[in-house]
Structure 1
Amino acid sequence: MNESTKTKKALRGSLFALFLCIVLLIGTTFAWFTDTASTGVNKIQAGNLKVDIVDATNTAKSLKGDTLKFTDVNNSTDILWEPGVTFNTPAFKIKNAGNLALKYKLTLNGVTGDQELLDAITFSVVDENGKAVNLDTFEGKLAKEGMSGALYIQGHMDEAAGNECQGKSLESLSLTVVATQDTVENDSFGPDYDKNATYPVASASELKTALNNGGTISVTKDIKTNNSEDSAVARMVISNPTTLNLDKKIISPDNMGNNSKNFVALYVEANTTINATKNGGIDTGNNGGYGINVMNGATLTINGGYYYGGGTAVQVQEGTLIINDGTFACEPYDNPTYGYNFQINCIDSAYKNGAAKVIIKGGTFINFDPSNNTAEGAGTNFVADGYKVVPETHGTDTYYKVVKK
């Protein structure tokens, strides 16, 4: 074999080996040189909004739960109101016990007694400089962990108050401070991200006004409404699109179930979303009215909370009810034929023509099966497609829980 032949054989062998390598590499992935680098991220800490009313001379002493008492110049609480008099409460301070800047308002609530006497008295907030601001328009601001100057509430009885106020009294006056975030802390773009933060409502009258106006409404303490009068004017009505955040409950008076015009704790006439904690919701008490009534084609979406009504927790008169979560119960009808059967209910004719709809995708229903009930006839199913009911026995009650299939 000459040198030329040897060279050709070696070349053919090399080419064959190269071919095999190409075949073996087909269908595989190539590896590349790589490297990584990382850095730590500082702790993410949520802010804490907390406010308190404290003694002006001993700021470590909280005045929560104390009764507001007006005094005369001799610090006596044994006083009589008459036209033209002015009385003050002892001084107090507002303490920002959290780490977020806040703004706050003061409200008087829990008042029982004569309305004419209440209307004859103007209440103001007086600061440490002696400046008086009408209670309804006063607003204070505090930096994080800040403290206000000494404040007190001043009451002035109108000089024109007449004999209609003689012998009348007001009792159980309490002072409430409500706070929300102030536009001080920055996010990535500036301090205006919380410029629309709203105050929680602190009284039944504030709640009624807020529901009528709509927007974002927060209930952070149980509010007992006083709308027992059997008239449309006395109703608690959501009249404009609303997001209702219920950390606590709206509690309507007992015996509203006897009414014919005002028999519901909350009327929903505009698109509404209720976001509620386990301590929030609706409670109608004994012999109470319905919990909620959806009207005027509104859509009500319920996310969490506890809803208790007399015979019915939620009714759809005209509109759509969407339940994603929450617990629903009712005071059963005395007639066992009805019992718990209308815990979730629609007006029959509206349900039949499609003007009233219920779509349930979650929640727990006590003694009422939302997938198989008689609210709109035998076999009524309010549960959305793709969901099912899981029953659980709790003593003498059955809890029907809606879950995904």
Structure 2
Amino acid sequence: MTNRKSTKRALLGSVVAMVLCLAMLVGATFAWFTDTASTGVNKIQAGNLDVALEYSTDFKTWNKVTDTTKLFEESTVWEPGRTEVVYLRVKNAGTLALKYTVGMYNINEGRGKNVAGEFYYLSNYVKLGAVETTAAYADREAAINAVNAEARTLKSIGSSAIIGEDQMVMLAPEADAKTYALVLYMPTEVGNEANPKNNDPYWASKFSFGISVNATQAEYENDSYDNTYDHAAPELFYAESFSHGTHEITKNIQANGRYGAVQAEKTAQITIDADVYAVYTKGADGQNAAMAVEAGGTSKVIIKGGDFRQVGVPADDPVCDLIYATDKATIEIQGGTFKAVTPANTLNVIDSARGVAKIIVSGGSFYKYDPSHPAMGENEVFVADGYHVEQNGDWYTVVKN
């Protein structure tokens, strides 16, 4: 029996559990929207940003997406040539123009061991592609050919966008919907490198992820001057995470705050000069979080400016750190505004056996939080020499002596 035939029969146990969750991360609505207000002759009413999302497997019957919708079949058999297709329809159901991206989130993966006794990851061998379409594909060859130029392995996609990666897609109010085909497949060229050892599901690599549609305001509606008043809305809807190298973040972010909307690990060096909104996210381990910035290892983060806030923190779980350092990491705050739902948790440092982290403040304004008298991280959160804190109402600003 050839290796190819053996692979076709033996690739068992590799799980791709696809759960599509509609994550409508509306860009910093508190910054631009107002409540309804009226006078005797005038009325000002808040606009409405609303994305509607539907899915279909045959392009005939469309169903509304919910946070428990399973787009693809949960299977224990993934082999070369297997293909799954689902169609998504994105609509603007609100009164404001919006722009959006579609991407993966909540990624979980376990490594496997193949027939050669080598470790492998399924995400290196399964591809996902997305393309606009007006009809269902007749067969798997047509579906694969349609996305072949755009398809990437699940590993290479990571937290980047599947749709709108280079430029967010815009929809005007009441515009025609955009319809996409999401094609998930294992190329026929894959061989025993992804074939679990002994045909045993125990050795199979397992991969699961969700898909999020993230929308924000678009520069479309006009005021008395132009249509750029909402230009500061978030541009990135996935967490920026680095383990090595030097990086600059200048685009506004609104993303999953479970591990930090911006995350620095190991030896990474990151400079931030952008707004960072951390979306409250529940963890399977019960550890829920809404961290805008998290630093670990021996990494260093310099915050030069921007607005740092938390989004969607529920009233029954308000204790979430906004800026967080651990291990031997250092976070330097030189500017920006910082507002945590629980002010005492604006800045926090957690020691570990590997060393003492620290947060040094030489600028910035903090809501109901005085960095010269930190609620947590005593002797680890401090105002830099030559600087002091001035209070103005609920805000504490660090200024030079």
- Please give the range of the TM-score, normalised by the shorter of the 2 chains: 0.5 to 0.7
**In the alignment, what sits opposite 1:90?**
86
Q: Which runs of 5+ in 2 are unaligned?
A: 1-38, 112-120, 136-145, 152-160, 197-203, 288-294, 352-356
In structure 1, how many angstroms separate the alpha carbons of the residues matched to 2:321 and 2:283? 6
1:190–1:363 CA distance, 2 compared to 1 (3 A): closer
Q: Secondary structure at the match of 2:95?
A: coil
Is the 1:324–1:362 Cα contact (8 Å) retained in structure 2?
Answer: no
1:311–1:191 CA distance, 2 compared to 1 (3 A): closer
Q: How does 1:148-187 map to 2 (within 5 A)?
A: 148-158=177-187, 161=190, 163-167=192-196, 168-187=204-223
Structure 1, 315-324 or 168-177: larger mean CA deviation:
315-324
In structure 2, how many angstroms separate the alpha carbons of the residues matched to 1:118 and 1:129? 29
**In the alignment, what sits opposite 1:102?**
98
The alignment covers a number of residue pairs equal to 295
Whether 1:48 and 2:48 are equivalent positions in the alignment is yes
In structure 1, how many angstroms separate the alpha carbons of the residues matched to 2:44 and 2:262? 45
Q: How does 1:291-306 map to 2 (within 5 A)?
A: 295-296=331-332, 298-306=334-342
In structure 2, how many angstroms separate the alpha carbons of the residues matched to 1:267 and 1:346? 19
**In the alignment, what sits opposite 1:325?**
368
Is the 1:96–1:144 Cα contact (8 Å) retained in structure 2?
Answer: yes
1:66–1:362 CA distance, 2 compared to 1 (3 A): farther
1:296–1:204 CA distance, 2 compared to 1 (3 A): closer
1:79–1:265 CA distance, 2 compared to 1 (3 A): same
Is the 2:234–2:275 Cα contact (8 Å) retained in structure 1?
Answer: no
**In the alignment, what sits opposite 1:232?**
267
1:289–1:196 CA distance, 2 compared to 1 (3 A): closer
Residue deviations 1:156-200 (CA, integer Å, cap 9, x gap): 435554544323434432111011223332222343444554345
1:159–1:242 CA distance, 2 compared to 1 (3 A): same
1:355–1:117 CA distance, 2 compared to 1 (3 A): farther
1:289–1:251 CA distance, 2 compared to 1 (3 A): farther
**In the alignment, what sits opposite 1:248?**
280
Residue deviations 1:39-78 (CA, integer Å, cap 9, x gap): 96531112111213223455563333213315xxxxxx54
**In the alignment, what sits opposite 1:29?**
none
**In the alignment, what sits opposite 1:378?**
none
In structure 1, how many angstroms separate the alpha carbons of the residues matched to 2:62 and 2:299? 40
**In the alignment, what sits opposite 1:401?**
none
Q: How does 1:371-386 map to 2 (within 5 A)?
A: none
Is the 1:311–1:342 Cα contact (8 Å) retained in structure 2?
Answer: no
- TM (norm. structure 2) is 0.55
Structure 1 residue 154: Cα displacement: 1.0
Q: Secondary structure at the match of 1:305?
A: coil
In structure 1, how many angstroms separate the alpha carbons of the residues matched to 2:309 and 2:261? 23
Please identify the structure whose Cα radius of gyration is greater.
1
Q: How does 1:240-279 map to 2 (within 5 A)?
A: 240-246=272-278, 248=280, 262=296, 267-276=301-310, 279=313
Structure 1, 184-193 or 174-183: larger mean CA deviation:
184-193
1:40–1:269 CA distance, 2 compared to 1 (3 A): closer
1:304–1:226 CA distance, 2 compared to 1 (3 A): closer
The residue type paired with residue 126 of structure 1 is V
**In the alignment, what sits opposite 2:131?**
126
Is the 2:89–2:178 Cα contact (8 Å) retained in structure 1?
Answer: yes
In structure 1, how many angstroms separate the alpha carbons of the residues matched to 2:319 and 2:328? 8
Higher relative contact order (CA 8 A, sep 6+): 2
In structure 1, how many angstroms separate the alpha carbons of the residues matched to 2:376 and 2:358? 8
Residue deviations 1:198-240 (CA, integer Å, cap 9, x gap): 345245659x99x842232224x5544599997224xxx6513
Q: Which runs of 5+ in 1 are unaligned?
A: 1-38, 71-76, 255-260, 329-339, 365-381, 386-405
Is the 2:99–2:216 Cα contact (8 Å) retained in structure 1?
Answer: yes
1:164–1:106 CA distance, 2 compared to 1 (3 A): same
Q: Secondary structure at the match of 1:302?
A: strand
Structure 1 residue 282: Cα displacement: 8.1
Is the 1:251–1:282 Cα contact (8 Å) retained in structure 2?
Answer: no
Structure 1 residue 243: Cα displacement: 1.8
1:248–1:177 CA distance, 2 compared to 1 (3 A): same
In structure 1, how many angstroms separate the alpha carbons of the residues matched to 2:385 and 2:320? 29
In structure 2, how many angstroms separate the alpha carbons of the residues matched to 1:185 and 1:226? 29
1:88–1:146 CA distance, 2 compared to 1 (3 A): farther
In structure 2, how many angstroms separate the alpha carbons of the residues matched to 1:127 and 1:262? 40
Structure 1 residue 341: Cα displacement: 7.8
1:283–1:292 CA distance, 2 compared to 1 (3 A): farther
| Candidates 385, 390, 397, aligned match of 1:354 | 385
1:143–1:227 CA distance, 2 compared to 1 (3 A): closer
